Chains A and B, each alone.
Chain A
Amino acid sequence: MVPIFSSAQDQKRVDSLKTVSRMGKQREQFKALIFLSDLYSDNNLNESMRYSKQALALAKKARNDTFAGLAYNSIANVHQYKSDLDSSLFYYRKALAAHQKIKDSAHIADSYNNIGITYDQKAQFPEALSNYFKALTFYDKKSAPDRQAMTYTNIGIVYKAQKEYGKALKYYKKAYENYLKTADEFGKTVSAGNLGSIFLNFGKYDEAIKYSEIAKAGYETNHFDRYVAYPVSTIASVYDSLHQFDLANKNYTEAIRLHEFYENGFEVAENSNAFAASLIKQKKFAESISFSEKAIAFAKKSDAHLLIVQAYKNLAKANGNLGNFSEAYRYSNLYSTGNDSIFINEKTKAVFEMETKYETEKKEKLLIQKEAEARQKNILLLTVSIFAFFIIIIAFLIFRQQKLKNKQQAQEHELKTAIAQIETQNKLQEQRLSISRDLHDNIGAQLTFIISSVDNIKYAFDLQNSKLDNKLQSISNFTKSTILELRDTIWAMNNNEISFDDLRARILNFIEKAKEAKENVAFHFTIDERLDALKLSSISGMNIYRTIQEAVNNAIKYSEASEIAIAGNLIGKEIKITIHDNGIGFDKSTIEKGNGLLNMEKRIEDIGGIFNIASENTKGTTITALLKINENTIS
């Protein structure tokens, strides 16, 4: 295991970050966790993941989408370092979604770039390019030359991997030009190195040396010594191609030394092989054997089988040229076997890849099938829900209809029952009225017979006895008044409604008779013409008539009046009936109300009216009845 942090200063920084991640404010805590994850990503991926997840938990707690995006990004980075590229893609996409939610364009572009890198690693180059270009759109809008340069480099790498060197060169150049506008020395240097290596592919050796020298100087100036060997290696290849073997040897030796120093075994083996091949060209076979053996040793450490086979080829050639035919034969055999083995390995690898591809496709198919099943299930659920919803509504509507029907039936039955009851009552009342009418007719006839008998007696016999004569007269008068009363009642009973016109005629008739009885009294009768349109119920008409009758009779009998005035007026929504005499009047406080007055008051109150009597000694008497026009009294 590599020591966690190389220097005490680094360790101190980590401790400080750990303290902040526990004790600091929320924002500082989050930043510390992200830094810690980043630091541990170089040597302890599990620890790095732990800090990333802590950062995510904090972001969720704080409900901060920027934090969430950064935390997802950190988790994705760890997955990428673990070569778990599917998970890495998943979390980069989550980071992208979080940044898109808050429209954080800078981080959106970073997410697209990261997704591009992951696709590049998965060798899904079209997807990688698509995401790089999306990132580039955002960086162009933001005018961020360093980020643009980084993306150009990434695009160049993709094109180089696809052996589209022209396009790769174009983007490497763009990257280099952009880096020149920034202060990013490392970027400039890497970019120059990339250009150097790509120019080698085009056989543009001057350009290749120029940019490789720039890269070499850049790495040295900025103390990125670890990377110096790469441009040196390119320079060596250029001189080798130009057959300037002295310079080539010098640069190969330097490149191998540097890679060896920085423990980059793979590169040592590769450079040693290249140098060994160059030495064969220079006919320095013994030296070539030595570097080939070195290449084998380092290739074995790096498990680089292809490099070992290449070394065997160089060894076979060198030994053959030295006359060591048995060694040459041995290495030649090893080369063939190795080549076969590589072929077998590659074949196996291809088969394995095909198998993997087949499995992946199978899994994908299964996944699609499952998705289709889930979709079908959802559709089924939705359909069932819709049907259930409709059925519930229909059931409710039918229930409502039935309920309404029942309610209507009950209501109808109730009304019909009420009609039947009222009709029965009406029939009974009709029978009672019929019997009453017969009875009244009989009584009327009997009373007429009595009057006639009394009048006959008086006419037939000349009665000298005044007492007897008075008795007969009293019987006759009483019977006449009773028969009049009966006739009035029968008149009222025979009419369901009494118009004011009828009432006026009846009152006028009564006044005529009163005039005959009291010739010295002047009667005045006026009635408002507007009242003619009104119709009274029979009981109201009867009670008004009786009240007027009683009031006039009282005035004739007791008031000694010379004038009696009867008036009916319509005042607003009230009928005002006034009976006034100019007689002697009376003091209301001293007299007791007799049956006559009480009857009048009762009759008017029975029909909902207000009865009033006003009288003063010598100033006559005024009787007033006020009736409101309503359904009970007036039709």
Chain B
Amino acid sequence: MGFLTSTVMIVLLIATIVSLVSLIVYLNIRFYREKKKFKTRIAVLQQIILEISKTRDGQRTQLKLSDEIDSRLKSAKATLSDDIFGLNYELFEILSKNNLLKK
């Protein structure tokens, strides 16, 4: 009887230990699988970031060029205003010399 009980105990103990070891193995496998899955998911997100960052950088460059031309146009506007003013002045001087201005 005692022998039977101890045998049953040993079998139960071994079964429990095997189950626990299996659980440990399962948890470990799940851990590494999750890690791998996450790595793939993150790689996709990182690729998206890379692409939209590239777009952003391109847009920044375009905006820089735009700002540059804006400032160039600003100075061109001033020059052009001066030139048109000079032209008008010359024109009015000629008209005035030739008494062509309305009185």
Contacts and interface: CB of A to CB of B under 8 A. Distances in A.
Asked if A and B are interacting partners, one says yes
Interface of A: 383, 386-387, 390, 393-394, 397-398, 400-401, 404-405, 408, 411-412, 415-416, 418-419, 422-423, 425-426, 429-430, 432-433, 436, 439-440, 443, 450, 465, 467-468, 471-472, 474-475, 478-479, 482, 485-486, 489, 492-493, 496, 537-539, 542
B8 interface: no
Given A386-B17, A430-B59, A475-B87, A486 B69 contact: yes
Contacts of A465: 90, 94
A493 B31 contact: no
Given A401-B30, A443-B73, 6 more contacts: A412-B41, A419-B48, A419-B49, A426-B59, A429-B63, A493-B66
Given A394-B20, A471-B83, A485-B69, A419 B27 contact: no
A429 B87 contact: no
Contacts of B52: 419, 422-423, 426
Nearest to A485: B72
B86 A471 contact: yes
A478 B83 contact: yes
Contact of A412 (B45, B48, B76): B45
A139 to B, nearest CB: 43
B31 A482 contact: no
Nearest to A476: B83
Nearest to B34: A404
A415 B76 contact: no
Contacts of B17: 386, 390
Nearest to A471: B87
Nearest to B27: A397
A400 B31 contact: yes
Nearest to B35: A404
B7 interface: no
A468 B20 CA distance: 101
Interface residues of B, number: 48
Given A401-B31, A443-B73, A486-B73, A539 B83 contact: no
Contacts of B28: 397
Contact of A475 (B30, B49, B65, B80): B80
Contact of B61 (A387, A443, A538): A538
B69 A411 contact: no
Contact of B90 (A394, A468, A482): A468
Given A433-B63, A486-B73, A539-B61, A383 B35 contact: no
Nearest to B60: A429
Contacts of A432: 63, 66
B91 interface: yes
A406 to B, nearest CB: 12
Given A478-B76, A478-B80, A415 B13 contact: no
B47 to A, nearest CB: 11
Nearest to B21: A390
B66 to A, nearest CB: 4
Contact of A489 (B41, B45, B48, B69): B69
